[in-house]
Structure formats: structure tokens, C-alpha cells
């Protein structure tokens, strides 16, 4: 980690309270796409008393300051994605797990629409994760 969470928060213009650092420590450095609930569990490992409301408010704050992006999946799951390089997503139908795909693995082109000014293109691929992978990858 080249920069501490505290530094990242300061640079984003957020004052680094202990609660915020506890949350940042996990959510800005995980490759997973955690829900608010998962963030709560991890943050409590560092700061046991932290409240649910603070998790939500802090995650919203991070989103407003561009440190995170929300990603709204099927019904009951809003998920947070650390804003690193742009990428696309694959969602496993069975487990719901989200995998990042390199941006250039998916190409999109579209017509010009008179009525729409397009700012962002979001591609979600869905399907199954193959059990019979290249064996090397299965090694544990």
C-alpha cells in the first residue's frame, strides 16, 4: 500500500476520524464488492462499537467524494466498488458474486442518440462460473 487510508481521505477532502479510517481501511483496499453489511463486520474488527448508521453515512460520504461507486445488483443488494481503474462486471447467477473484468475485454459501440448525452456505459455480464477450469487455477 503506497498511501495510507488517512492520506487518501485527506486528499479527498474528508477529515480522517477514527470511524472513517476504520471503514476506509477495508473498503478502499478490498478487491471484493462488499455490501454495507459486510463493511460493518470488517469495520467492527477495528472499532467494535461503530454503528450501522455511521457505516451508511460514511459510505455515502465516500461516494460523494469519488472514492467509491455504488453498484446496484438484484433486489436486496447495494454494493460498493472502490474507484480504481474502470472495469466491467461479471455476476455469477448462482452465488451472486461479482468479478471484475478488464475494461478492454468488453467492447461496446452504440448509435448516437439525439435525445441522450451519454456519460457512462455500464456492462454487466451474467452467467455461471465454470467449474471445469484450467486445472492450474483450481489448485489451492
Residue 59 beta carbon to a second copy: minimum distance, rounded to whole angstroms: 11
Q: Name which position in 11, 37, 64, 92 contacts DNA (CB under 7 A).
A: 37
Q: 30 is written with which cell numbers?
A: 478490498
Q: What gap in Å lies between CA 39 and CA 52, rounded to an integer?
A: 10
SS3 137: helix
Q: Name which position in 8, 24, 50, 91 contacts DNA (CB under 7 A).
A: 50
Q: What gap in Å lies between CA 33 and CA 47, rounded to an integer?
A: 21
Cβ contacts of 116-124, under 8 Å, gap ≥ 24: 122/88, 123/88, 123/89, 124/88, 124/89, 124/90, 124/91
Q: Name which position in 1, 31, 76, 131 contacts DNA (CB under 7 A).
A: 76
In the window 54-113, what residues touch a second copy (CB under 8 A)?
70, 72-75, 77-78, 90, 93, 99, 101, 105-111, 113
The residue ranges that bind a second copy (CB under 8 A) are 70, 72-75, 77-78, 90, 93, 99, 101, 105-111, 113-130, 133-134, 137
The residue ranges that bind DNA (CB under 7 A) are 14-15, 17-20, 35-37, 49-54, 56-58, 60, 75-76, 78
Amino acid at each position: 500500500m503506497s498511501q495510507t487510508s488517512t492520506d487518501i481521505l485527506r486528499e479527498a477532502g474528508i477529515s480522517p476520524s477514527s470511524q472513517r479510517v476504520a471503514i476506509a481501511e477495508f473498503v478502499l483496499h478490498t478487491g471484493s464488492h462488499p455490501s454495507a453489511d459486510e463493511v460493518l463486520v470488517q469495520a467492527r474488527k477495528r472499532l467494535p462499537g461503530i454503528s450501522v448508521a455511521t457505516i451508511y453515512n460514511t459510505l455515502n460520504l465516500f461516494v460523494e467524494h469519488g472514492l467509491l461507486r455504488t453498484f446496484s445488483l438484484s433486489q436486496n443488494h447495494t454494493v460498493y466498488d472502490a474507484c480504481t481503474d474502470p472495469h466491467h462486471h461479471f455476476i455469477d447467477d448462482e452465488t451472486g458474486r461479482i468479478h471484475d473484468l478488464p475494461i478492454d475485454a468488453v467492447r461496446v459501440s452504440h448509435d448516437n442518440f439525439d435525445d441522450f448525452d451519454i456519460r457512462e456505459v455500464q456492462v454487466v455480464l451474467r452467467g455461471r462460473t465454470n467449474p471445469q477450469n484450467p486445472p492450474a487455477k483450481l489448485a489451492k
